[in-house]
Structure 1
């Protein structure tokens, strides 16, 4: 099984990816952990893309969470057996991001790059509320859902996510 999880920041992509990885006993790759180096420094695009390519080349089953279009995005979507788009509204995402911050502050969560302690700042809040939801980004998600409609699912709220998890068992 191959599962690609995409969606807006703070919607729970990494949490769902970890859950499905455990449930199906398949490897998980968190793209934030690929991109971010210690101290919140971004890894070079080519190096990030190579890490994801290697992961895809060496695993017959996987769960990958994240959007990063330059990290084998088309290949991930094409090879995935299931594409899950978490499309929670911006305020739900902001609430979830704050809850995550209070849970992990001062530590680095498993789904993040090593040495990147959980943080919440105005730049990230602005990303959740505005920059991460541009017309271009919305259209990209819509195009993926249209292109791969037979293997895609859109989850818009916690009730739908809870139902999906229950049905996955």
Structure 2
């Protein structure tokens, strides 16, 4: 089974991917770990794409979590057996990011590159509340839902996420 987990920042993509990886004994690739080097330095695009390509080629089953449309996005969606799209509202995402900040303050979470401690700066706040939800991104998600209708699962809130995770354990 190949699963792509995409969606807005703060929806819980990493947590869901880790949960699915444990339940299905499948290797998970967190794209934040691919994109970021320690101290919040960005990795070169060619190196990122190479890492993702190698991961996909090496594994017959995988879970890839994150958007990063420049990182083999079309290939990931095409090869995925299921696409889980997490589309919580902006305020739920902000609340979840605040909880994450409190939990990991001064530490690096498991789905992030070591040396990138949890933070919430103005740029990320603007991304969560607006820029990451612009017309281009909304159109992108709409196109994914239309093109991959038969394999896309849309999760819009915590209740739906809890129900989905419960079904996965049966």
Shorter chain as denominator, the TM-score bin is over 0.9
Q: TM-score, normalised by structure 1?
A: 0.99
Runs of 4 or more, structure 1, over 2 Å off, are none
Give the equivalent residue in structure 1 for 2:46. 46
State the shift of 1:113 in Å: 1.4
Q: 1:5, 1:49 → 2: CA distance?
A: 17
Q: Kindly tell me the number of residue pairs found equivalent between the two proteins.
A: 169
Give the equivalent residue in structure 2 for 1:114. 114
Q: TM-score, normalised by structure 2?
A: 0.98
Q: Aligned ranges for residues 10-159 of structure 1 at < 5 Å?
A: 10-159=10-159
Give the equivalent residue in structure 2 for 1:161. 161
Give the equivalent residue in structure 2 for 1:4. 4
Contact 1:2/1:63 (CA < 8 Å) preserved in 2?
A: yes
Q: 2:74, 2:122 → 1: CA distance?
A: 31
Q: 1:3, 1:83 → 2: CA distance?
A: 6
Give 3-state SS (helix, strand or coil) of 1:154's partner: strand
State the shift of 1:19 in Å: 0.3
Q: Deviations over 1:104-161 (max 9, x none)?
A: 1111111111210011111111110011000001100110111000000100000000
Contact 1:7/1:87 (CA < 8 Å) preserved in 2?
A: yes
Q: 2:105, 2:25 → 1: CA distance?
A: 29
State the shift of 1:17 in Å: 0.3
Contact 1:21/1:63 (CA < 8 Å) preserved in 2?
A: yes
Structure 1, unpaired ranges of 5+: none
